[in-house]
Structure formats: structure tokens, C-alpha cells
């Protein structure tokens, strides 16, 4: 197959650039063409005649002229697969696609279609976020009409997409491919010394839907337990942080126990993964969180709520410590038990790393994705 990737910007997503470069190594990819507006900031060296990178910096030309550019590249060729991201800008007619054996796969990275099946009050987001997601939802629906298949990264996206296409009265193939991890970069290099202060890490925006209120409650409970600990928050702060601080009615000053690191680059985040003792992830909603996989790849044990996005990572519940969603006391007890059981933490550390290598490494996920795509287009060609 000839594989064409349309990705707006790799500037902040070098792991996805690596993902596509990996694809050209397989025999079923005769040529790889990547269209983007920006390449990763850190130059990645590669040399292969099968790979062609086309950088279109002009935003207008990228979004409104790329269809014509792709058309020039595929005329006269057969078995062309277009992997399109976020917005379907390659809306070729069915007649054109059939003539040149073109198959369009659109990737969704967040379940934006949920707005058509969930109430706004259930989402715990502000109005600005709501309208942003609503706009993305409309683009997603537009994409459904021009795609041959949808690729999502979670069971939730698959379920919601099925409901949407049923509502619209159309038929589409849906593939669920999990997000991958660069296991060479996020490596197993745990700290050797055991600190008297137990370090708990949270990665993500400090928002209510990410479990920020539950982190505050668990902090209070840990203070009362008398354990020496520190909670690190790596990520942008939510808008409600000041409200939480001023309205805190705790007898303790919990903010002395929580350190806000802000947004961290990949190297500093990896260092946090490698030096923390436990990752706390009390999010109420996730698709397929890459940060949890990155942490596990670095050997960091994870305690989380039992939501679908996390269960997708650990279907057998063998490597992550789960608590029922919203049960703060249960999650707290899990944390306390792990703090008091260093041997269990070590087992989780080793099992987690092995699990990520086996199921979510770049090579494993890419091979799975290409095999599914190849099977699908071979079936369509034959029929």
C-alpha cells in the first residue's frame, strides 16, 4: 500500500512522528508520504527512499489546498491509504476513491462525539471547554461522511461512534488502536535509594474532572495518617485552583504537601516518573491516557479509578491498583496499603514495565494497526 499521513503539526508530538516513521519499515508499506505544517522541534534523523515529508507551513494552503496536492500524488497509483487526523480535509468523492483504490481512515483522539449522548452537567467542564469540544464534535461528524473507517484509541470512542453512525443512518468500519509508548525513551530506570518521604505523582491538568478535588481529599487523609509524603502535580493548573485553596476548610494546610511543577518537557517528566514512588490517577474520564503508560514504562506503579480508559490498558486488572470511581476512601486505602508494602510496589513496577513493552510499544501497536488496515483494504478490493 501507499500510505499518506495528514497531521497538522508534529511540533509537540514527536512520538507520533516516530510512530509513522516506524510504518515505513514494514513490507506492506511501499511508500510513506507525510503532509504536515510543522515537524518536531528536535530534528529526528532518518534516511529512506520510501519516505517523503511535505511541510506546508501556510495554514490556509494546508487546510484548503491539500486535497489537490494529494490528488496529484495518488493519480495513477493503486491501494492508497490516507490516515487523516482530527478534521477530514480529504473528502474525495466515492467515484474517485473507487477508481484509484483510495481508502480514508480518520483518527479521533478524543471522544468529542459524547456531546450528542451525554448531558453537559455530567462532563464537569466549563463553557469555554464545552464550545471547543462542540466545534470538534461537528468536525468529527463531518469526517464520518467522507471516511471509510474510523480509528479511535479507546472503547468509549468506539461505542459513541457506533451510536453516532447509527443515528446518522450510515455504515462505517471502526478500529480501536490504543495509543503507543516510546519504550526506549520512557525506560526502566528506577531510583535506587529509598526516601523516608513517599512521593506521589499526578500528571495532567488540575481540573475537577481529572480528580483534583479527590487529590485534595486524599492529601488531607494522608496528613491525618501521619505518613511522610509529598504530592507532585505535573501539568497546567486548572482555573479553579484558587477557589479550592480559599475554600479549604481543612484543619491542615494541605498546600504545604502539594507541589505544583507546571508543564514539564519530556525529559523532566521522565525524570519525575523514574523518581516518584506511586502515580495517583483519580480521573473521572479518559480515552486512552498516554501518561499512565509512560509512567508504567518507567516502572512507576499506578493507583487509579476503574474507568474504561484505564481498564483498556489493564484489562485483566493485574498491573494497576484500581478503586471504584468516586470512592475516595477506597482509593486512599489502596494508596496506604501500597505505601506500607514496598515489595508489592516493586512487583507492580516490574510487571507494569513488562506489560507496556508487550502491548503498547511502538513496534507492537504499529504492527497491529497495519495488519488491520491491510486486512480491511484487501477484503474491500476483493469484494
* C-alpha pair distances (Å), 27 with each of 4, 16, 23, 30: 16, 20, 9, 7
User: For each successive 10 residues of the chain (383 residues), what is the average pLDDT?
Assistant: 90 83 86 90 68 89 86 84 76 82 80 55 60 74 83 82 85 87 86 74 88 90 91 79 54 80 91 94 87 95 92 90 95 94 92 95 90 80 57
160-166 contacts, C-beta under 8 A, 24 or more apart: 160/111, 160/113, 160/114, 160/116, 160/117, 161/108, 161/113, 163/113, 163/116, 163/117, 164/113, 164/116, 164/117
Instruction: Tell me: do 171 and 268 sit in the same domain.
Output: no
Instruction: Tell me: do 156 and 221 sit in the same domain.
Output: no
Q: Number of structural domains, the chain?
A: 2
Instruction: Tell me: do 117 and 213 sit in the same domain.
Output: no
Instruction: Tell me: do 222 and 166 sit in the same domain.
Output: no
CATH, residue 204: 3.40.50.2000
Give me the pLDDT at residue 328, please.
Answer: 95
Question: Would 188 be classed as within a structural domain?
Answer: no
Distance CA 347, CA 34 (A): 41
Instruction: Tell me: do 205 and 122 sit in the same domain.
Output: no
Instruction: Tell me: do 207 and 300 sit in the same domain.
Output: yes
* Cβ–Cβ < 8 Å for 233, 260: yes
Question: Taking the mean position of all CA atoms in its chain, how far away is CA 77?
Answer: 33
Question: Would 309 be classed as within a structural domain?
Answer: yes
Instruction: Tell me: do 49 and 92 sit in the same domain.
Output: yes
Instruction: Tell me: do 170 and 207 sit in the same domain.
Output: no
Instruction: Tell me: do 99 and 220 sit in the same domain.
Output: no
* Residue from 106, 111, 82 nearest 96 by CA: 82
* Cβ–Cβ < 8 Å for 373, 81: yes
Instruction: Tell me: do 367 and 355 sit in the same domain.
Output: no
**Structural domain boundaries enclosing 131:** 2-180+362-382
Question: Would 337 be classed as within a structural domain?
Answer: yes
* Residue from 185, 200, 361, 205 nearest 266 by CA: 185
Can you say whether residue 37 is alpha, beta or left, with left for phi > 0 and alpha for psi between -120 and 50 degrees? alpha
- Please report which residue ranges of the chain form alpha helices under DSSP H: 14-23, 59-74, 94-100, 127-146, 155-168, 212-225, 241-247, 266-275, 290-297, 308-311, 328-339, 342-359, 362-382
* Cβ–Cβ < 8 Å for 280, 263: no
Give me the pLDDT at residue 200, please.
Answer: 96
* C-alpha pair distances (Å), 152 with each of 32, 115, 224: 21, 17, 43
Give me the pLDDT at residue 271, please.
Answer: 93
Angle CA 130–135–140, to nearest 5: 120
- Its pTM stands at 0.82
Instruction: Tell me: do 164 and 258 sit in the same domain.
Output: no
* C-alpha pair distances (Å), 111 with each of 65, 115, 118, 246, 308: 28, 9, 11, 33, 12
Give me the pLDDT at residue 120, please.
Answer: 46
Amino acid at each position: 500500500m501507499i500510505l499518506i499521513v495528514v497531521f497538522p503539526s508534529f511540533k509537540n508530538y514527536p512520538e507520533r512522528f516516530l510512530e509513522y516513521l516506524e510504518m515505513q519499515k514494514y513490507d506492506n508499506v511501499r511508500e510513506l508520504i507525510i503532509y504536515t505544517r510543522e515537524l518536531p522541534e528536535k530534528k529526528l534523523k532518518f534516511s529512506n527512499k520510501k519516505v517523503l515529508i511535505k511541510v506546508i507551513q501556510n495554514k490556509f494552503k494546508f487546510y484548503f489546498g491539500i486535497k489537490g496536492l494529494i490528488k496529484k500524488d495518488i493519480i495513477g497509483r493503486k491501494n492508497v491509504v490516507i490516515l487523516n487526523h482530527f478534521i477530514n480535509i480529504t473528502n474525495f468523492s466515492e467515484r474517485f476513491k473507487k477508481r484509484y483504490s483510495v481508502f480514508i481512515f480518520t483518527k479521533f483522539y478524543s471522544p468529542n462525539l459524547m456531546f450528542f449522548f451525554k448531558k453537559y452537567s455530567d462532563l464537569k467542564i466549563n463553557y469555554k471547554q464545552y464550545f471547543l469540544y462542540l466545534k470538534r464534535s461537528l468536525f468529527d461528524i463531518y469526517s464520518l461522511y467522507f471516511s471509510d473507517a474510523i480509528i479511535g484509541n479507546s472503547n468509549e470512542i468506539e461505542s459513541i461512534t457506533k451510536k453516532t453512525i447509527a443515528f446518522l443512518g450510515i455504515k462505517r468500519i471502526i478500529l480501536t488502536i490504543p495509543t503507543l509508548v516510546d519504550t526506549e525513551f520512557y525506560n526502566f530506570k528506577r531510583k535506587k535509594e529509598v526516601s523516608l518521604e513517599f512521593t506521589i505523582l499526578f500528571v495532567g491538568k488540575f481540573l475537577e474532572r481529572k480528580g483534583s478535588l479527590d487529590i485534595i481529599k486524599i492529601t488531607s487523609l494522608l496528613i491525618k495518617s501521619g505518613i511522610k509524603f509529598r504530592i507532585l502535580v505535573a501539568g497546567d493548573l486548572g482555573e479553579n485552583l484558587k477557589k479550592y485553596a480559599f475554600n479549604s476548610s481543612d484543619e491542615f494546610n494541605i498546600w504545604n504537601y502539594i507541589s505544583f511543577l507546571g508543564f514539564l518537557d519530556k525529559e523532566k517528566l521522565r525524570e519525575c516518573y523514574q523518581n516518584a514512588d506511586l502515580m495517583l490517577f483519580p480521573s473521572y474520564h479518559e480515552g486512552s491516557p498516554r501518561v499512565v503508560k509512560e509512567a508504567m514504562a518507567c516502572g512507576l506503579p499506578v493507583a487509579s479509578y476503574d474507568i474504561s480508559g484505564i481498564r483498556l490498558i489493564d484489562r485483566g486488572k493485574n498491573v494497576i491498583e484500581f478503586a471504584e470511581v468516586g470512592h475516595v476512601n477506597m482509593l486512599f486505602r489502596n494508596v496506604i496499603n501500597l505505601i506500607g508494602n514496598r515489595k508489592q510496589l516493586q512487583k507492580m513496577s516490574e510487571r507494569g514495565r513488562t506489560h507496556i513493552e508487550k502491548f503498547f510499544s511502538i513496534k507492537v501497536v504499529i504492527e497491529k494497526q497495519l495488519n488491520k488496515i491491510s486486512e480491511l483494504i484487501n477484503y474491500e478490493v476483493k469484494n
